[in-house]
């Protein structure tokens, strides 16, 4: 990846490869702790950071719990557009299933790079406030056990008033880089504020594995912080904020295509920009423009 970047101490890197070699060694050297001790340590330190964070909205949002409403409203507007386009029978005779993956939050204050993230479904914030209202079944994936316990309690039928037709079903305590969904199970796999913990190779590997979990016509929604250019490495929680160009190069490696994208509005200016991507495995349809026959046969002035 030929994009320059910097870390939370202000150190500059010529490209992403240089940064990843320093942080985790050479990717592709082999699997397992013995072959890649630095990579294992990268993930251990990321989980360890979040194990010390309070299981609350303010905790998982890094002290920016006030952005919750704007985040949910932005996500809901984007989701409504996708459902209208892709699942017009939703709510009628179509049973929708979602994987609320990485509904974890990490915000970065520009300059100081203080992220907060809950690497998976977090405490069920997005499932409770958004996904469970639109999907009949939602599964949650979260590697930090006390976050998942909080999500399970929050989404229990006795603590959350939802229809019997809309419920959280499974709670997986598994990190993204180790998760493979059941084949053809989900209409939407929602990944928010957690993919920054994955190395580039694990990012690609995850989406390639997760593609099998989509139903025909299903899609991924990825909502993430966006660096202005290149990338920003947070050394404290072991995560990377990528630029739009960086993401699109990785999407290409995954065999995914951007169906729609939208910028999140209403967040404090001191935070990174946030962008939503709807991704499909289908090649976007090309619109062939043809000249109007009326226009083509219109008389011209001879000069």
Q: Binding site membership: which residues? A: 120, 125, 176-177, 192
Exposure b/e, 166-180, CB count within 10 A at least 16 = b? bbbeebbbebbbebe
Give, rounded to a whole angstrom, the gap between the first and last alpha carbons of the chain: 54
CA dihedral 264, 265, 269, 270 (to 10 degrees): -30
Please name which of 145, 213, 219, 152 lies closest in space to residue 179, comparing C-alpha atoms: 213
Strands (DSSP E) along the chain, which ranges? 5-7, 12-13, 97-103, 137-141, 167-172, 186-192, 214-226, 231-234, 239-242, 257-263, 273-280
Report how far residue 43's alpha carbon sits from residue 303's, in angstroms, rounded to the nearest whole number: 72
Q: Which residues are annotated as a binding site for S-adenosyl-L-methionine?
A: 120, 125, 176-177, 192
């Amino acid at each position: 990846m030929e994009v320059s970047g910097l870390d939370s101490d202000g150190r500059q890197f010529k490209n992403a490869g240089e940064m990843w070699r320093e942080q985790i060694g050479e990717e592709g050297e082999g699997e397992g702790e013995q072959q890649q001790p630095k990579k294992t340590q990268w993930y251990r330190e990321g989980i360890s950071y979040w194990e010390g964070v309070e299981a609350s909205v303010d905790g998982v949002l890094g002290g920016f719990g006030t952005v919750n409403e704007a985040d949910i409203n932005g996500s809901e507007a984007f989701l409504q557009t996708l459902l209208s386009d892709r699942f017009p029978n939703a709510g009628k005779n179509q049973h929708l299933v979602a994987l609320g993956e990485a509904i974890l939050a990490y915000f970065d204050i520009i300059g100081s790079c203080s992220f907060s993230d809950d690497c998976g479904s977090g405490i069920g914030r997005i499932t409770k406030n958004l996904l469970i209202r639109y999907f009949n079944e939602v599964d949650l994936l979260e590697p930090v056990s006390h976050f998942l316990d909080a999500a399970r309690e929050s989404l229990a039928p006795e603590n959350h008033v939802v229809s019997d037709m809309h419920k959280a079903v499974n709670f997986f305590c598994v990190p993204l880089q180790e998760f493979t969904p059941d084949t053809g199970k989900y209409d939407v796999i929602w990944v928010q504020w957690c993919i920054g913990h994955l190395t580039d190779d694990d990012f690609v590997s995850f989406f390639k594995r997760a593609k099998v979990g989509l139903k025909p016509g299903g899609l991924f929604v990825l909502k993430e912080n966006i660096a202005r250019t290149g990338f920003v490495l947070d050394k404290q929680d072991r995560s990377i904020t990528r630029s739009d160009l960086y993401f699109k190069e990785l999407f290409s490696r995954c065999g995914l295509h951007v169906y729609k994208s939208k910028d999140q509005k209403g967040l404090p200016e001191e935070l990174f920009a946030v962008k939503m991507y709807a991704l499909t495995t289908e090649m976007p349809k090309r619109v062939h423009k043809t000249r109007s026959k009326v226009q083509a046969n219109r008389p011209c002035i001879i000069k």
